[in-house]
Every structure is written in C-alpha cells, then in structure tokens.
C-alpha cells in the first residue's frame, strides 16, 4: 500500500465518522508545523516514565501490592506501598492516596480543613480560586465551610498582566496567616497557568515573609507536564485527583496529597478519624488500576498535551483567542478557546461529545451544576464518569463563553475530538469557513 493510498484510506475513516475533507485537510496543515513541539512533549514523557518506574522499583512494588483489602483495611501492603511510591515521586516525606477521596475538590477541602484551625487565615495569592472551592472556603456561604469554623480568608488578585502582586501579597500576610493556597491551573479563568518555576518563586517569597507559612499547591491538570513538580520547589503540600493526570485514565476514583509528614498526618486523621489516621481504609479492588494508571500517566498526559497544542493552533488559526497561545509553553493539559457567544461554546462541546467512545449519541446541555455560580455545559463520554484526563470539554455559560478542552487517553482520539468540534462549529455556523482550498 502506497503512502498516498494510506492517507486516502485514513481520510475515508474520518469521513465515515463525520469529518469533512475540508476539515481534515485543514487539520493536517496545522499538524505539519507541530512536529518539534510534539517531540519535546515526548521527551518530557520519557523522562517522567523513567521517574515513575524508578519510584515503583525503589518502593519494591510486588504482585502482592495489587491484592487489596476489605473491612478496616489493616496492614494493606498495596496501599502503604503506593503511598510510598507517591512520596518518592514528589520527593516528600509522606503521601495519602485513597479511593475514599472522591474528587479534586474533596482532596483540596481535606487538605485545607485538616491543616487550618479556628482563628487561622487562609491566603490565596493568585486571585480567585476555582469555582467549587468558593463554597469550601465560604466566599459563597455554604454548610460546613471554613468560614463556619471561624477560619478567615484573604485574596490578592493577580496584576493586569497576570503577574504576582508582590507588595499586595506581603501586606496580606499577617501573624494569623497559616496557609497559602496556590492554584496551578487556570480553572474557569482565561489567565495563564503557572509553571513549576513560577510557583517556586512565589513560594520562596511567601516563606521569606513568613517562614512557617504552609504552602499548598492545587496540582490538578498539571502532573507530568514538566519534569518537576511543585514539591520540588518548596511546596509543603501538593494535591490532586486520580481521575485526572496521575490516574492515567484507569483509576476509577480517588485523590492524593503529597507533602510534609505533619500535613499528611493531619489529613489522614481528618479523612478517617483521629487516632486511626493512615492505618485504616480498605482499598477493595482498585489497587491494580491505581498502580497501572500511574504507570501509564506520563504517556497519557503527553497525549492530552498534544491535543491541547493542536487545539490551540487550530483555533488560533481561525482567529479565536486561545489560552495558552499556540506557541506558548504548556504547564497543564487545559486549553481555553474563547467563542464570545453561548452558541459557540455549546457547539464546541457538542462536537467533543460526538467524538466520545461512550455516549456519543448524547447531546450535552447547560445545567445548574452543584458548586458553580452559573449554568455549566460539560461534554465527556468517558469510561470513568467525569474523568477529565479522558477527552472532555466544559465551560460556564457566561462571558467570554470560553470552552475548556482537556484530556484524551490517546493522541489519535484527542485529534479526532478536536476535528469533530470544528466540524460542529461549521455546521452550527459559529465559523463561516476555514482557510483551506481543495
């Protein structure tokens, strides 16, 4: 079979799945320029793959670690070894990796509620936190919030150019400031994601003002996008979700915290019970997926990064504002595309949903999702419900009507999803035409 024939055969497969020749050819023209970027992503993935293997070998992962436990979960070798693996990966004193942590917001709430006490003040030196944390903190009143327990909150917004307000941060730190929370990714904002190096600079400044300040990083969507993690640059605590990057698409639930022994012990006592801490918590049958998902995580994250870079360049070429830009360095797997209209956001999400292996026939619609202050549309035909390391897109129905695209367990699926999003935008007349001539 000749190269030309192979290309035509591939095109016919895309056409069967609803991608027009024009959309496919435009996508290929974008891809031609991305080979150096993809090679760089592969190099980072290779480094991180070796890092994961080294951590597993040093922790002496064995077949017995995959067995799991029931009931109280006493003496769970697999659970204890997995937490050792995470501590080695993040170069920390300890880690807490549990299926009892239900999502990223739960992991963050656990970290905050276990390490803050009445009278303490929480500081966000990077502006507004992710929407679901507003009720955890008490910015929006909610039952059980930190505010209800007498924990204060201060926020220092970023400067207009997206940089840290150093003097504002210095002024916000008081004797009662106990913990600073740093959100690495952008959330539902169109700011740049922070690199690990930028986070390290911020942590160094915070500790120069108050050396005993606990610095916590919300690492969601950022794991394995660089060769270092926030705990390598001074973070006392790093928090994330296993149905994002580190679960590799296999973890069915769970979250992790990696950090100092004191911070992890506090979290374990809050998650389980004072006096029990890390000693209990059955793992049932999830350990194989936790271990294998972590093993696959560097390559799965690389696939998602390639999809994000492709989406950025494809939509930027059509005149849309994208964050990060097509040429920017990547520090998380999220790509924002600003449509300016609800119709554009909805069409994009419809396209992503139609590319899914699960529920491709479902039409996503905006709804009043718990924890958010506006309607949100979410597209995710995933094997693990809500897993945003799988091909997915979402966004709040409010200006600038940005779609937040992420995930893709394989690069090929990410590519297909992005092309389907463009196809749907054309069909919905969100885009009049694309710059491609037969």
Alpha carbon dihedral 199, 204, 205, 210, in 10-degree steps, equals 120
How far is residue 364's CA from residue 20's CA, in Å, rounded to a whole number? 22
Query: Which strand ranges, in their side-by-side order, compose the sheet holding 335-338?
Result: 321-323, 335-338, 402-406, 392-396, 376-379
Q: At what angle do helices 287-316 and 77-90 cross, to 10 degrees?
A: 40
- 360: tokens are 């491709």
Q: Are 287 and 300 in contact (CB under 8 A)?
A: no
Full 3-state SS string of 163-211 = CCCHHHHHHHCCCCEEEEEEECCCCCCCCCCCCHHHHHHHHHHHHHHCC
Q: Are 398 and 389 in contact (CB under 8 A)?
A: no
How far is residue 413's CA from residue 17's CA, in Å, rounded to a whole number? 12
Arithmetic mean of pLDDT over the chain: 95
Of the listed ranges 172-181, 187-196, 202-211, 301-310, the one predicted with least confidence: 187-196
pLDDT tens digits, 13-29: 999 999 999 999 999 99
Of the listed ranges 272-286, 346-360, 361-375, the one predicted with least confidence: 361-375
Residue 144: CB partners within 8 Å, gap ≥ 6? none
pLDDT tens digits, 235-267: 999 999 999 999 999 999 999 999 999 999 999
pLDDT tens digits, 107-134: 999 999 999 999 999 999 999 998 889 9
pLDDT, average across residues 159-171:
96
Q: Give CATH for domain 3-47+295-427.
A: 3.90.1150.60
Compute the residue count for the chain.
438
Predicted pLDDT of residue 433: 87
| Percent of the chain whose pLDDT exceeds 90 | 92
Q: Give CATH for domain 70-283.
A: 3.40.640.10
| Percent of the chain whose pLDDT exceeds 70 | 97
pLDDT, average across residues 165-187:
96
- 190: tokens are 């169109």
Of the listed ranges 77-91, 296-310, 366-380, the one predicted with least confidence: 366-380
Predicted pLDDT of residue 1: 47
pLDDT, average across residues 42-46:
98
Q: Are 133 and 118 in contact (CB under 8 A)?
A: no
Give backbone dihedrals phi and psi of 102, rounded to 5 degrees, phi first. -85, -25
The distance from CA 32 to its chain's CA centroid, rounded to whole angstroms, is 28
What residues form DSSP beta bridges with 266? none
Q: Is the pLDDT of residue 4 over 60?
A: no
Give residue 338's pLDDT band: very low, low, confident or very high (50, 70, 90). Answer: very high
pLDDT tens digits, 72-110: 999 999 999 999 999 999 999 999 999 999 999 999 999
Q: Are 220 and 230 in contact (CB under 8 A)?
A: no
Residue 21: CB partners within 8 Å, gap ≥ 6? 11, 15, 438
Q: Is the pLDDT of residue 187 over 90?
A: no
Predicted pLDDT of residue 273: 97
Q: Is the pLDDT of residue 3 over 70?
A: no
What residues form DSSP beta bridges with 379? 393
Q: Is the pLDDT of residue 8 over 80?
A: no
Closest CA to 360 of 374, 375, 350: 350
Q: Are 256 and 247 in contact (CB under 8 A)?
A: no
Give residue 374's pLDDT band: very low, low, confident or very high (50, 70, 90). Answer: confident
- Domains of the chain, by residue range, sit at 3-47+295-427, 70-283
Of the listed ranges 163-172, 213-222, 368-377, the one predicted with least confidence: 368-377
- 391: tokens are 């091909």
Q: Tell me the whole-structure pTM to 2 decimals.
A: 0.95
| 282 SS3 class | coil
């Amino acid at each position: 079979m000749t190269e030309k024939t192979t290309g035509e055969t591939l095109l016919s497969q895309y056409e069967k799945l609803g991608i027009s020749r024009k959309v496919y050819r435009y996508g290929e023209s974008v891809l031609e320029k991305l080979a150096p970027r993809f090679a760089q992503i592969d190099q980072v993935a290779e480094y991180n793959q070796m890092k994961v293997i080294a951590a597993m070998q040093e922790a002496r992962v064995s077949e017995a670690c995959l067995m799991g436990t029931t009931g109280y979960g006493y003496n769970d070798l697999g659970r204890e070894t997995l937490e050792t693996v995470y501590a080695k990966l993040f170069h920390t004193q300890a880690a807490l990796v549990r299926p009892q942590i239900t999502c990223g917001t739960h992991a963050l709430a656990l970290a905050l509620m276990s390490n803050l006490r009445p009278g303490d003040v929480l500081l966000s030196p990077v502006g507004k936190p992710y929407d679901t944390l507003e009720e955890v903190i008490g910015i929006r009143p909610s039952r059980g919030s930190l505010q209800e327990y007498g924990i204060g909150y201060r926020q220092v917004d970023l400067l207009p150019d997206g940089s840290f307000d150093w003097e504002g941060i210095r002024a916000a730190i008081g004797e009662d400031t106990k913990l600073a929370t740093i959100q690495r990714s952008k959330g539902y904002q169109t700011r740049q994601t922070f690199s690990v190096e930028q986070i390290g600079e911020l942590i160094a400044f915070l500790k120069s003002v108050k050396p005993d300040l606990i610095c916590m990083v919300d690492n969601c969507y950022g794991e394995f996008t660089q060769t270092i993690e926030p705990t390598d640059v001074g973070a006392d605590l790093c928090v994330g979700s296993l149905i994002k990057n580190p679960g590799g698409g296999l973890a069915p639930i769970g979250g992790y915290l990696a950090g100092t022994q004191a911070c992890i012990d506090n979290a374990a006592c809050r998650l389980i019970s004072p006096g029990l801490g890390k000693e209990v918590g059955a793992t049932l049958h999830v350990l194989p997926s936790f271990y294998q998902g972590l093993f696959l995580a560097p390559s799965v994250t690389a696939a998602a990064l390639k999809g994000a870079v492709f989406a950025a360049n494809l939509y930027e070429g059509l005149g849309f504002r994208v964050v990060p830009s097509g040429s920017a360095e990547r520090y998380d797997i999220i790509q924002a595309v600003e449509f300016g209209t609800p119709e554009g956001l909805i069409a994009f999400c419809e396209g992503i949903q139609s590319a899914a292996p699960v529920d491709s026939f479902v039409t996503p619609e905006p709804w009043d999702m718990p924890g958010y202050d506006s309607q949100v549309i979410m597209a995710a035909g995933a094997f693990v419900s809500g897993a945003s390391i799988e091909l997915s897109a979402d966004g709040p129905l409010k200006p600038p009507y940005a779609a937040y695209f992420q995930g893709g367990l394989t690069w090929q699926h990410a590519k297909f999803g992005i092309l389907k999003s463009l196809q749907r935008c054309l069909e919905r007349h969100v885009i009049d035409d694309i710059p491609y001539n037969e």
